[in-house]
Structure 1
Amino acid sequence: MHLLQNQDGPLVFGRWRKQVAGRAGQVWGGVRLLAPPRGYSPDFLTPTLPEPGGELDDGIEALLSTPRRRLRADLTELAEDRRIPAWGQRLADGDVPSLRALADALRRHHRLAVAPFWSHIRARFDANRAAVGAAMLNQGLAGTLPLLHSSLRWESPILYVDGGHLGDDLHLRGRGLRLVPSFFCWPGPTLLKDPDLAPVLVYPVDHDPLWLAGDPAAPSAAPEIALGALLGKTRATVLRAAADSCTTTDLARRSGISPASASHHAGILREARLLNTRRVGGAVIHHITPLGAALLHGNG
């Protein structure tokens, strides 16, 4: 809901926003007031499930089971920055019909903004799970945490989140920290507001900026010719091959060149800030930057 009310991440979410935003108002009703484009939104909207990988129904059931004190505390926090409508006050009082109306609105939102794109979203989750699993096996926790996002910095025993947007320190007090990848978390990791809740760090998955741009392997002739003239035919092919995150071996196979040549061209594209590269376990993963995506798609 946040991303549908702001213009963040235009290269990644712009086309999705155009497809969804026109009908979102009819689907949400006043629920958007609980998830403003900036700032705090109630923690009870993102319940932590006992087991990872739960379905929508599990999340809805957890929301419907929110204790009244949690509803009141979260909505009181929200009211510090904005006016809460009358139905929000009823929600804070634990009114069951209001809770069910909220659950119905969230189901409608899921059908509109998530379900039609689920195959791609799930693929991003699967890729993240594989990359993080490989990193944990090969590098341990200390080597994995900084790979989750560029703003994360591990200096044992403290995990720093650069940027200053999370506010106060969070002390785990032996409770552990659950890491939750999110497709719609942008631009950096976030935490639940209440320090007494089970600690959860939500971080963005890696994105393919061209996920709704049609087939990136078959662009129109004019941009392809121009891109080849600018970068050289082979380097343009390598950039196009990296539109979906891949290893150096995959990059070489897709481009029809040797792994050594693929690594060389990827290095030049990286220096030009058209590609990012990171090591995950024994593999080197390349993915296109927003600048590279704009150049590739003719929007630069």
Structure 2
Amino acid sequence: MLRIHFTGEDLGRIRIASEPDPMWEVLMSLHRLRRRDTGVLFGPWMRESLPRVPSTTRLLTALAPPVGYSVDFLTPAAGGTIADRMEALRATPLRQVLRDLREFAHQNTTRRLPSWSRELVEGEPEGIGRLADAAHSYFDTVLGPFWERIRVQVCRDRSRRSAALAEGGWDAVLSTLHPSAQWDYPVLRLDFPVDQDLHLGGRGLLLQPSFFCRHAPTTLADPTLPPVLVHPIEHDTFWTTPEANPADGRALAALIGPTRAVLLSALADGAATTGQLARRAGTTPPNASRHITALREAALVSSLRHRNATLHTVTELGLALLEGDSLGIHV
């Protein structure tokens, strides 16, 4: 679990990023490619992008495994264009590089650092320069063709968060960042692969919506770096091309079955909690939760934490599936 500790001063210094962060999207999209997260959301992008991945990307994946710790210095806190981010990466202080490499070795005991990492350890500019060049090439080739669509999706999410802020204050924003979010001032708790505490100490927090962040939010391991919380957005499932097929992808196959059809149909009437959906489907809350998870993985349902309950709603793709009766299921 990740626990973020706020002070009153921190609440006044929370910001929502206005644009996607190129370096976080590079890192998160690398995770998607390595994990082969196909299906409805990323399948079309992955099929188009995989053949174009530059060979130099191996320099990045060596320090950014699909599971586990990735070095913090790959996502520098810098604004501006992708070129500005590359310059920030090239200017990474040697002490941070050494600290991150030690952390990488500590947390990824089954992975060995590549031989060329010696250049990083010795502070040779060619080492960090090659990493920056690889990141820039990957961005231009893999993310560049989709960047405007990615930006639109992230900006829409920011607009939704801003509307929640105007209506309910930061309590409304923090409690709905993710289905796992538990906001009880002064601590925000979130699902996280390791147990970690982040004490803001008056520095505030940057909320960074991320297009390729999937499942749980993430943050930097080094607590001395500027605090940032990278969180998933709610996607338009037809973001890649207008012709995207909503029935394409293995995740969608999980819908076949009467219980999930009943749950999806019930959500067409409006938002509902897990308990309410369980009663409508005539099943237990744990069983309903398992089926809702499958629906969410197929991008048919979205879930947001609200006070002490999780509210589920049907997505545009879920409505399209119900209206078209694509699976031939009648409930």
Q: Same fold (TM over 0.5)?
A: yes
> Residue 50 of structure 2 aligns to a residue in which SS?
helix
Asked if residue 75 in structure 1 is aligned to residue 101 in structure 2, the reply is yes
Shift in Å at residue 14 of structure 1? 2.0
Do 1:166 and 1:191's aligned partners in 2 also have CA atoms closer than 8 Å?
no
Q: What residue in structure 2 maps to residue 107 of structure 1?
A: 136
TM-score, structure 1 normalization: 0.73
Q: What residue in structure 1 maps to residue 177 of structure 2?
A: 148
Q: What residue in structure 2 maps to residue 43 of structure 1?
A: 72
CA distance in 2, matches of 1:185, 1:293: 25
Shift in Å at residue 128 of structure 1? 1.4
Task: State the one-letter code of the partner of 1:189.
Answer: P
Shift in Å at residue 86 of structure 1? 1.7
CA distance in 2, matches of 1:278, 1:48: 28
CA distance in 1, matches of 2:117, 2:316: 41
CA distance in 1, matches of 2:97, 2:303: 43
Shift in Å at residue 133 of structure 1? 1.3
Asked if residue 206 in structure 1 is aligned to residue 203 in structure 2, the reply is no
CA distance in 2, matches of 1:101, 1:32: 13
Over 3 Å counting, the alpha-carbon distance change for 1:178 and 1:11 in structure 2 is same
Q: When the two structures are aligned, how many residues end up with a matched partner?
A: 256
CA distance in 1, matches of 2:171, 2:132: 39
RMSD: 3.8
CA distance in 1, matches of 2:121, 2:317: 41
Task: Please list, as runs of the form range in 1=range in 2, the aligned pairs for 1:206-225 lying within 5 A after superposition.
Answer: 206-212=234-240, 214-215=242-243
Task: Please list, as runs of the form range in 1=range in 2, the aligned pairs for 1:1-300 lying within 5 A after superposition.
Answer: 1-8=30-37, 10-24=39-53, 26-49=55-78, 51=79, 54-80=80-106, 81=108, 82-162=111-191, 164-212=192-240, 214-215=242-243, 265-267=268-270, 274-276=300-302, 288=315
Over 3 Å counting, the alpha-carbon distance change for 1:31 and 1:66 in structure 2 is same
Over 3 Å counting, the alpha-carbon distance change for 1:294 and 1:39 in structure 2 is farther
Identity of aligned residues (%): 37
Shift in Å at residue 293 of structure 1? 7.5
CA distance in 2, matches of 1:38, 1:277: 24
CA distance in 2, matches of 1:264, 1:3: 29
Shift in Å at residue 117 of structure 1? 0.5
CA distance in 2, matches of 1:297, 1:8: 26
Over 3 Å counting, the alpha-carbon distance change for 1:65 and 1:298 in structure 2 is farther
**Unpaired segments of 5 or more residues in structure 2?**
1-29, 248-257, 259-263, 282-291, 293-299, 307-311
